[in-house]
Amino acid sequence: MKRKIIKQGHNALTLTLPSDWTKRFNLEAGCEVDVEEKDNGLFVSTEKNDRIRSAEFDITGMDIPTVWKYFMAVYREGYDEVRIHFDPAMELESPYKFFTHHRLDVRYKKTAEKRPIVEVLQGFVARFIGYEIVEHGKNFILIKEMGTITGKEFDNSLRRIFLLLEQMAEEAMEAVKTNNPRPLIHIHDVDINLDKFHDYCVRILNKTGNKDMRKTSLLFTTLYLLELAGDEFKNIASHMVNDFAKIKLNNIKQLAEYAKQEVDLYYALFYKYDVAKVQLMSELDKKSYMLFPQVYKKASEDEKEIFHHFRMIVRYINALLELRIEIEF
C-alpha cells in the first residue's frame, strides 16, 4: 500500500497508518508504536520485537574445524540460543589445536589427548563473548546469550581490535629488528583475542546494524580486513618461532617498521579523520611499494617467506584506508 507524506510544522513529516491495522491492535491517538529502520525501509510494530532467535544442529561425526565453522556461523549471525546435539561417546582433541593453525605453544601440541565432548564444547563456548552453557543433558547442550548488546559495546570491542593489532605490529617489528623470536611465542593468544572481538563486532552489527546501512557494509569489510592483517602477523610469528629461529633478518627490518607505522597511522585516522593523515599514509604506502622489489632482490629464501606476510599487511592497510575514506562520505 502507498501513503502520502504530510508536512506538519516546519520540519516534521508524517504518515497515516492503515485504519484496519490500527483497529486490529486497538490503537488510537496517544498510543506508542515501535519504529525500526531496516535497510531502506521502516518497520512499524505495536511492541518492541524481543523475539528470541534459536538455532539447532548436530555435531556427531564432525571434526574440530567443522564444529568451529558451525559455532562461528550461529554466533556471528546473532542467534540468542543454540541447542547442540552430539553422540555422548564422542571425543575430540583441544579445539585450539586446529583453530590456531600454527603450533606456537606447547599447550596446543599435535599430540594432545582427546577429551569428553562436553569438556571440549565448554572450550568452544568460552571463545565467544556473551555465550554460556545454561543446560546440558546426556546428548545435548543449550547455549544462551547472557546480557544485552549495545552500540557502545561495538565501539569498545572495535577499539580493542585496533589495540591488539598495534601490539602484534610492535612485537613483530621488535622481533625482526633484534632477531629475537622468543617474545612472539604468545602471539597466537593475542590473535585469538583479536578474533574474539572481531566475531563479537560482527554479531553486534548483524543484531543491531548501523543507522546508515551503507556504513554497516563498510564496517563488515573493515572488520574482515583487520582480522586478515592479524593473521599475517601470526604467520610471521610462526615462521620466526618454528621455521627460521636462527636466521638473520637484516633485509626486512625497514619493511617491518613501515608496517608498524601504517598500522599506527590507520588507527589514529580511523577515529579522527584528517586529510593530512590520509596523505601521509599514501606517501608511506608509496615508500613501501618502492621498497618491495629492492628487499626482494636482497632477501634470502627464508626472509622472503616473512617478506610476503609484511607485503600482505601493507596491502590490507591500504585497502582499509580506501574504506575509511568511503565511510567519511
CATH number at residue 73: 3.30.110
Residues 289 and 186 in one domain: yes
140: β partners: 85
Residues 237 and 198 in one domain: yes
Residues 273 and 246 in one domain: yes
Residues 40 and 111 in one domain: no
The domain boundary residue, chosen from 145, 169, 192: 145
Residues 130 and 180 in one domain: no
pTM for this prediction: 0.81
State the average pLDDT over residues 83-100.
Answer: 81
Mapped onto helix, strand or coil, the DSSP state of residue 48 is coil
Please indicate, yes or no, if residue 78 is contained in any of the structural domains.
yes
pLDDT above 60 (res 107): no
The domain boundary residue, chosen from 82, 114, 145: 145
pLDDT (0 to 100) of residue 203: 95
Give residue 110's pLDDT band: very low, low, confident or very high (50, 70, 90): low
Find, among 167, 219, 217, the residue nearest to 192 by Cα. 167
Helix (H) or strand (E) holding 256: helix 253-271
Biggest distance spanned by C-alpha atoms of the chain: 79
Residue type, 192: I
pLDDT above 90 (res 261): yes
Residues 199 and 93 in one domain: no
pLDDT (0 to 100) of residue 244: 67
Average pLDDT of every residue of the chain: 87
Please indicate, yes or no, if residue 1 is contained in any of the structural domains.
no
Residues 72 and 105 in one domain: yes
Q: Report how far residue 325's alpha carbon sits from residue 45's, in angstroms, rounded to the nearest whole number.
A: 36
Work out how many domains the chain is built from and give that number: 3
77: its cell numbers: 549471525
Range of the domain at 189: 151-328
Comparing 17-26, 116-125, 196-205, 273-282, which segment has the lowest mean pLDDT? 17-26
Residues 156 and 103 in one domain: no
Please indicate, yes or no, if residue 104 is contained in any of the structural domains.
yes
Please indicate, yes or no, if residue 184 is contained in any of the structural domains.
yes
Please indicate, yes or no, if residue 296 is contained in any of the structural domains.
yes
118: its cell numbers: 562436553
Residues 18 and 59 in one domain: no
Helix (H) or strand (E) holding 135: strand 131-136
Find, among 94, 110, 102, the residue nearest to 242 by Cα. 102
Residue 47's Cβ-count burial label (10 Å; 0-12, 13-18, 19+) is exposed
Residues 164 and 281 in one domain: yes
Residues 242 and 285 in one domain: yes
Backbone angles phi and psi of 133, in degrees to 5: -80, 120
Residues 178 and 274 in one domain: yes
